[in-house]
Structure 1
């Protein structure tokens, strides 16, 4: 049975801390690009050559920037339902933050090294850890009503929305590492399939008997 949140365990400080760490991670992504400018200037490269020779660096920066922003937005939407804290919530949030802070490193690696199963595994695996820990956060919030005291509870559909991204990224990880010579990072385009996967999971979940905790709280009108 989930441990109830204590009234003094406000989620606001955790949210502020998380937002600050995500902002730092986004800043770290651009630092390698900034370092390229003085090096190019000293070597006599004009701006056009600088851009052409670093297309992969720019592409990986934009990819990781969008990924981190998307993950942060999902985290933000989830914590709209959270008013209190529990040990499991804090632990899963810490793992999620670790994956976000770590992401600039595999981003730098995929531009510095040739594509291989290991580079794909490192980058895609980081995304799997991030979505997996975010899914675990969603499950914790959904199962423990005390965490949403005074706020709207998270719905099953919202849990499925996050979990479908996790499922799709696991498939992308397997395909990308298995076929690193051809598919590699293109497997991440499977994220566009999140919608159909979410609908499939929602259909399968609808066949399960409803848990008491999944029902919305009764109002006085319902009782009458």
Structure 2
């Protein structure tokens, strides 16, 4: 039987392998694009005869944004990768959900450049942290879709429920971080450190889901 044909009558979908490879490539490119503003700034600093220390001081905001975004995209990829390890078939619905998730990932280098190069304002925080909320929300939608289509994967209900609790806790904490960033501008994106509470919030969310 061809790998592009559904294994059972009445089940539509194609092999998930090409989609997994495509997602990995998109995430890798997005993570690479994060470094471009810093690469450009090196040339500009060299043109002004700046020292390495002067470059580090001038680009401290961009460096902070780069490191935070790099870690966040890596974290999102790991969550998505762990989920899709069990996915065997892809339907049009799951494909479009995945495309929407990738859209938020490729948007991250843009909002990262904004946070490091454009004057700080409330809308900038909404765009950056709001993107993180949407990325988590789409991952949650993916798990719900898979829970309703068990023929597409090998994941157990317990695994999906655990993943949902993680997604919900991340959404809640990103919203808390956004509120902190808007109410306390001096704190800014450091409010994202509330993500260290993910484990605690996840346990509470898991109990509610059960």
TM-score by length of 2: 0.88
Deviation at 1:180, TM superposition (A): 4.7
Query: 1:128-180: per-residue Cα shift (whole Å, max 9, x none)?
Result: 111111111111112211111xx343521122122221222123223323x15
Higher mean displacement: 58-67 or 196-205: 196-205
CA distance in 1, matches of 2:155, 2:79: 16
**Which consecutive residues of structure 2, in runs of 5 or more, have no partner in the other structure?**
1-9
**Which consecutive residues of structure 1, in runs of 5 or more, have no partner in the other structure?**
207-224
Residue 200 of structure 2 is aligned to residue 201 of structure 1: no
Counterpart residue number, 1:30? 35
Q: What is the RMSD of the two structures over their aligned residues, measured on CA atoms?
A: 1.6
The answer to which structure, 1 or 2, has the higher relative contact order (CA under 8 A, 6+ apart) is 1
Counterpart residue number, 2:191? 187
Counterpart residue number, 1:123? 128
Deviation at 1:59, TM superposition (A): 1.0
CA distance in 2, matches of 1:100, 1:94: 10
Deviation at 1:191, TM superposition (A): 1.0
Secondary structure in 1 matching 2:14: coil
Larger-gyration structure (1/2): 1
Number of corresponding residues: 199
Counterpart residue number, 2:3? none
Counterpart residue number, 2:73? 68
CA distance in 1, matches of 2:92, 2:168: 21
Correspondences of 1:1-224 after superposition (within 5 Å): 5-6=11-12, 9-148=14-153, 151-153=154-156, 155=159, 156-177=161-182, 179-206=183-210
TM-score by length of 1: 0.83
Query: 1:72-102: per-residue Cα shift (whole Å, max 9, x none)?
Result: 0000001012101122211211111000000
